[in-house]
Structure 1
Amino acid sequence: MAQRADILDETRSEASETYGTYSSTIHGINETVQQLTKLLELDENDEKQSAEIVKNLLKNGRVSLISYKDDLILEIYDEQMKNGSELLQLLKNHHRELWETQYGTKFSWFRSLIEEIEKEAGDVINCVLTRTAEYGNKYMKSCPLLSIVIQLLFESLSDNDMSTAFDNIWNSLTNDGLQSITQYAEYIIEEIMNKQLAKTVNEKLGGPLFMALREYYRNELFRILKESGVVNRNSLYDLALDCVAECGWINGSKMIERKTTKRNFDTLMDFVNKMKRSNDLSSSTTMSKN
């Protein structure tokens, strides 16, 4: 029992790192673990292996069960690998609950996005949840919130596009900001794209993709601003975050040039250019693997 508890503690820890630490998350994971154990009759297996199976299902999706085919009751395995199986639905419910307890609770804009899509095109949410249940965190990348929003808005992305078009969209948005969305018009409804780019009367962006990009850029941008010696005068960091989320690392950073000293700005741009080169190298490596 101790081995199983240790592995499931790791599972809860990993979920906390991905979605945040909330008591509702931990409770939900505990309940899902019990349901998976019962559904797959894992109590009959070695307890360490049973815990590993559950951990992999939550982290890597239903496809991870293929590795354990010889260790499961064949009748159960065949039934749960079918389309629309109870296992797939259980995993979908698990991820939907994580969306709601972590992002829906923290970000009103995310909650509104889910409600709007559910009302107008519920199949889109079902598609993203099914993909996540099937493949787990495979497409969550370094920011699950941004990944989910991209998948919801670019509704023409199929599973076959996730290692090509999705990667390209991700790399563009996380390097060149919201404005790069126009390069991928074939994957998003024009009206939805225009809403993401629309500004309020105060010339402010506020669409869900912009808001998700702010969360993606926030920590790293604030870190390099601080290390560059840029003073957060008159909420300059928030202004910089808006600029970078809209126009990307290089062009966005240039927009605050006159808000700080030349020395600090030059240091900032050195950081940004190094980061851009690193991101470009990472993107090239990913594309070569695909």
Structure 2
Amino acid sequence: MAYNSKRKRDNVVDDEILKLAENEIIRALDLEEYEIKDKIINDLLENGRQSLSKYEEDLLPDIYEAAINENDGKLMKSLKKYFEQQWKIKYGSSNQWFISFLEEYKDAVNYDSVLKRTAEYGHKYFKDCPILSIVLQLLFEGIDDKFFDETNAFNDSWCAITNNGLKSVENFSDNKKRSVLFQALREYYRSKLFELLEKSQVKDRDNLYELALDNVAEYGWLQGLQAVQKRIIPKLFKVLLENIPVSSDTSGMQGKFDFIEYLICLSL
């Protein structure tokens, strides 16, 4: 009971922190008294500053010009502050390792770049797992704006890593970074894997789900599930394999692995 009360208080505090950060965005655009305020803010928090171009007619000209053009102006500063708080509160509240990772990387060369990219484009590059996306962008300095804007490199690396797990970066020798990436991959696979196991009627006996999660995060879908095959009834295991949610974009897989090797070299 006491734990639930504390959790509720923490949630209230977290909501207040995000609300304060949101209010800074509102003030940066001088939107306090305008009915369209909520629509603009919701768009900014989902799609970043680039979405502001849709609202040029709804803002004072000088405020719009400053907001859309100044990379170190009030709007970008307030957006970066909001997203940084969101990372810690929304994604880190149940993942202390992620908060520690963010604190460790706060002074890294590319930390501000990743924040700026998020402020500019919102959740565009978060895919279906913000934690994994943020970790990849911070761990690999080679993932810069050019790779997002001019090539399909990030999509390629995402497919390779989420299909094949940590083994896809087996030449990444930094154990601390590998540990962080492993944790992020566990978060990526967790809901997908548990849903797959439940739908396949595989029972969670003797911590099977967590064991499967560790193996899938380490070796990817196929090899990871094969590692726990003896713990699963054969006909149910067959159902599992038939429903693995592997990315359909498997063309040029070697190129994807080559790109990951390139990123690793840049990070050494």
Shorter-normalised TM-score: what interval?
Answer: 0.7 to 0.9
Matched-pair contact (CA < 8 Å) for 2:22–2:82: no
**One of 62, 76, 97 as aligned partner of 2:63:** 76
Alignment partner of 1:127 is 2:124: no
Matched-pair contact (CA < 8 Å) for 1:240–1:252: yes
Alignment partner of 1:220 is 2:208: no
CA distance in 1, matches of 2:217, 2:112: 28
Unaligned runs of 5+ in 2: 1-9, 253-268
For the structure 1 residues 63 and 25, does the alpha-carbon distance in structure 2 shift closer, same or farther, using more than 3 Å as the test?
A: farther
For the structure 1 residues 55 and 102, does the alpha-carbon distance in structure 2 shift closer, same or farther, using more than 3 Å as the test?
A: closer
Deviations 1:64-114 (A, max 9, x none): 111112221111111222121111010000111112223333222112212
Alignment partner of 1:117 is 2:105: yes
TM-score, structure 2 normalization: 0.81
CA distance in 2, matches of 1:94, 1:227: 37
Matched-pair contact (CA < 8 Å) for 1:177–1:244: yes
Residue number in structure 2 paired with 1:161: 147
Matched-pair contact (CA < 8 Å) for 1:61–1:132: yes
Alignment partner of 1:99 is 2:87: yes
Cα deviation, residue 171, structure 1: 1.2
For the structure 1 residues 271 and 191, does the alpha-carbon distance in structure 2 shift closer, same or farther, using more than 3 Å as the test?
A: closer
CA distance in 1, matches of 2:181, 2:96: 13
Residue number in structure 2 paired with 1:203: none
Partner-residue secondary structure (3-state), 2:92: helix
Larger helix proportion of the pair: 1
For the structure 1 residues 172 and 88, does the alpha-carbon distance in structure 2 shift closer, same or farther, using more than 3 Å as the test?
A: same
**One of 258, 267, 275 as aligned partner of 2:230:** 258
Matched-pair contact (CA < 8 Å) for 2:28–2:78: no
For the structure 1 residues 103 and 43, does the alpha-carbon distance in structure 2 shift closer, same or farther, using more than 3 Å as the test?
A: closer
Residue number in structure 2 paired with 1:58: 45
CA distance in 1, matches of 2:26, 2:102: 30
Partner-residue secondary structure (3-state), 1:22: helix
Decide which moves more: 100-109 or 170-179. 100-109
Q: What amino acid is the match of 2:132?
A: L
For the structure 1 residues 33 and 118, does the alpha-carbon distance in structure 2 shift closer, same or farther, using more than 3 Å as the test?
A: closer
Matched-pair contact (CA < 8 Å) for 2:229–2:237: yes
Deviations 1:173-221 (A, max 9, x none): 1111111125xx7xxxx554x5444xxxxxxxxx111111111111121
Matched-pair contact (CA < 8 Å) for 1:25–1:98: no
Cα deviation, residue 281, structure 1: 4.8
Matched-pair contact (CA < 8 Å) for 1:56–1:64: yes
Matched-pair contact (CA < 8 Å) for 2:161–2:168: yes
TM-score, structure 1 normalization: 0.76
Residue number in structure 1 paired with 2:15: 26
CA distance in 2, matches of 1:143, 1:152: 15
Identity %: 39
CA distance in 1, matches of 2:190, 2:33: 47
Residue number in structure 2 paired with 1:40: 29
Matched-pair contact (CA < 8 Å) for 2:18–2:85: no
Q: What amino acid is the match of 2:248?
A: D
Q: CA RMSD in A?
A: 2.3
CA distance in 2, matches of 1:282, 1:79: 43
Greater relative contact order (Cα < 8 A, sep 6+): 2
Unaligned runs of 5+ in 1: 1-20, 198-206, 285-290
For the structure 1 residues 283 and 94, does the alpha-carbon distance in structure 2 shift closer, same or farther, using more than 3 Å as the test?
A: farther
Matched-pair contact (CA < 8 Å) for 1:169–1:181: no
